[in-house]
Structure 1
Amino acid sequence: MSFFRRKRLFSILLGLIIMVGLIGYSLSDRDELSAVEEFFQDVFGWTQQAFLAPFNYITKVVDNIDGMINMYHENQVLKENLAQYQRVLYEVQELRNDNEELMALLKKTESIRDYTPIQASIIARSPEQWFKQVTINKGKQDGISQDMAVITADGMIGKIQSASQFTSSVLLLNGFDRSNRIAVTVMLTEDGGEAQGFIMGFNEEREQLILEFTEYYDEIPEGESVFSSGLGGIFPRGLEIGTIEEVTTDQYGLTQIAYVQPSADMENLNHVIVVDRTMVTDHTPDDTEDDDDKSEEED
């Protein structure tokens, strides 16, 4: 065996002896570490910290990304729920308004004693005259004919311009002109009298009806109610049209006129009543026959 091999073997044995000694020394119960142990512990701690720091940073970044993704999905779900809630709220509000309008129409229907009311719904507006003409879902099959008055619970809105079998076209008051005038009565509350006149058109700038009086009246207070008089032979008497906003004269100063604010909202229409001009009577043909029989018996 050469000298170098013996020296290497001796070094290995010496290292094993030292290592075993150190292991045994480290396993013994001691309150303090040796300088060598402290050195190796510090080196191991620093090394561990150096290797774990990038790993911990990457872990935090990944966790933050996952949190942002989860937050994004939760935000999307919340937006969808909010949109759905708003749709439901809008539908509920629409149903509530629809119900209130129908209840008002029902009361109005019950209050019409002398004429047959025909309830209808708006199904379309004329594209070329968006605010002046609408279409309802009732026609000749339902007893509707031309020139019948159309009202809401608030007041008159127009008349039937044309009727087909199942639908009808309604000309609104803001589309009226001299060829579609309405005979009206203004109720004078102070002296209990009446002022007669005609609705002759609509002032686009003021968004009010134009009323021309048949004669000159000394005093017509603002706020007086305007009703159809029934004198024109087309519209029945007593349909509310609006209230007097201003009384003045025409541009020549010869005719007394008034601007009338319509009682009904002609822009937001859903349900209406068509007023049949045929009066409702309490006597049926059977009743008439009974009366004739009674007359014959008396004779």
Structure 2
Amino acid sequence: MIGLILFIALMGFTLGRNRLTWPEKFINDAFGTVQGVLYRPVGAVADFVRDLGRLSDVYKENEQLRQTVAQYTQDQIKFNRLEAENKRLKEDLNFTKQQKNMDNYRYLIAQVVGSTSNPYEKTITINLGSRDGLKPDMAVRTVDGLVGLVSKVKTFTSTVTLITDLDPSSSRGTPVSATFLGKPESFGIIEYDDEAGVLQMTKIDESDKPADGDKVITSGIGSLFPQGIIVGTVKSSQVGDFGLTYTAIIQPAAQFDHLREVFVVVVPGAEEQ
């Protein structure tokens, strides 16, 4: 009752007044100060909690963006690879059509699936074997030119010895007899000079002096390589043994460092042999 009476008296005393007494001012100021002191840390904690939530959202968004960029990069690489492969296959198809008008050889397209790292044995592995009709000593070429000779045949794969490893003076390989395009009576032997690291055509008759830019093709005489496969282009020439012959340095037509697809040349009648 006393508290109720005091409360009613206080309400009646304060109602209608515009100014507060000093005790009321003191109480209001003290309450406001305490409220401000308590609000700041509470507000800071609340802001920190909100920032943590936002940081988590940003992390999730960044993770999604990284995954999207990684997938885009992978798709771009795949697209570029397929585009390059499609271009090569179109060139291969055009090559086979052109060759049908030039000779009656049959061509088996093969993928290069491996290469040797042995500097003393320059070979590649292709994904065709005996089940595909391959036999040893079949010539192998690209769209650009001669690559080598099938040396070993397995059921599903075969080994191809490159022309840079065919040395007529040793037991490693078979010589490539060649001629100059436009000079059907010319003759020479293609071999690889290990010391100089160049392909060269030797034993060229002095009456067939080569000129820079002359095209060199297989002659089909006295070797396993069929006639008419381009070998390369003459870069330079010099007088050979005893001044009676010429030796020409040949720029290979095939790019041995970028072999992806090759053609195995099937000469008519070779399957029956």
User: Shorter-chain TM-score: which interval?
Assistant: 0.7 to 0.9
Q: Distance in 2 between matches of 1:204 and 1:78?
A: 54
Q: Distance in 2 between matches of 1:237 and 1:202?
A: 23
What is the letter of the counterpart of residue 52 of structure 2?
A: I
1:103 aligns with 2:90: yes
1:41 aligns with 2:28: yes
Which of residues 62, 75, 86 in structure 1 aligns to 2:62? 75
Q: Distance in 2 between matches of 1:170 and 1:124?
A: 10
| SS of residue paired to 1:162 | strand
Superposed CA offset, 1:84-129 (max 9, x none): 2222222222211221111111111112232111222223334546
Gap change, CA 1:214 and 1:251, over 3 Å in 2:
closer
| SS of residue paired to 1:112 | helix
Q: Distance in 1 between matches of 2:120 and 2:73?
A: 28
Larger deviation, residues 219-228 vs 113-122: 219-228
Once the two structures are superposed, the pairs formed by residues 170-185 of structure 1 within 5 Å of their partners are 170-178=160-168, 179-185=173-179
Superposed CA offset, 1:127-148 (max 9, x none): 5469821222223333322221
Aligned to 1:85: 72
1:196 aligns with 2:187: yes
Larger deviation, residues 64-73 vs 266-275: 64-73
Gap change, CA 1:169 and 1:19, over 3 Å in 2:
same
Asked whether the equivalents of residues 187 and 225 of structure 1 are also in contact (C-alpha less than 8 Å), the reply is yes
Q: Distance in 2 between matches of 1:265 and 1:97?
A: 16
| SS of residue paired to 1:157 | strand
Q: TM-score, normalised by structure 2?
A: 0.79
| SS of residue paired to 2:28 | helix
Aligned to 2:205: 215
Which of residues 13, 23, 31 in structure 1 aligns to 2:11? 23
Gap change, CA 1:61 and 1:250, over 3 Å in 2:
farther
What is the letter of the counterpart of residue 146 of structure 2?
A: M
| SS of residue paired to 1:138 | coil
Which of residues 270, 277, 285 in structure 1 aligns to 2:267? 277
| SS of residue paired to 2:258 | coil
What is the letter of the counterpart of residue 45 of structure 1?
A: G
Aligned-residue Cα RMSD (Å) equals 3.4
Unpaired runs of at least 5, structure 1: 1-11, 281-299
Q: Distance in 2 between matches of 1:268 and 1:130?
A: 19
What is the letter of the counterpart of residue 79 of structure 1?
A: R
Asked whether the equivalents of residues 125 and 134 of structure 1 are also in contact (C-alpha less than 8 Å), the reply is yes
Deviation of 1:213 after TM superposition, in Å, equals 4.2
Which of residues 222, 227, 234 in structure 2 aligns to 1:232? 222
Q: Distance in 1 between matches of 2:14 and 2:120?
A: 98
Gap change, CA 1:19 and 1:160, over 3 Å in 2:
same
1:241 aligns with 2:231: yes
Aligned to 1:134: 124
Aligned to 1:147: 137
Q: Distance in 1 between matches of 2:226 and 2:59?
A: 64
How many percent identity over aligned positions?
30
Gap change, CA 1:42 and 1:110, over 3 Å in 2:
same
Aligned to 1:53: 40
Asked whether the equivalents of residues 108 and 153 of structure 1 are also in contact (C-alpha less than 8 Å), the reply is yes
Aligned length: 263
1:117 aligns with 2:107: yes
Q: Distance in 2 between matches of 1:254 and 1:41?
A: 122
Superposed CA offset, 1:188-244 (max 9, x none): 7xxx787532211155765x4222242246864433322222223311222122222
Aligned to 2:153: 163
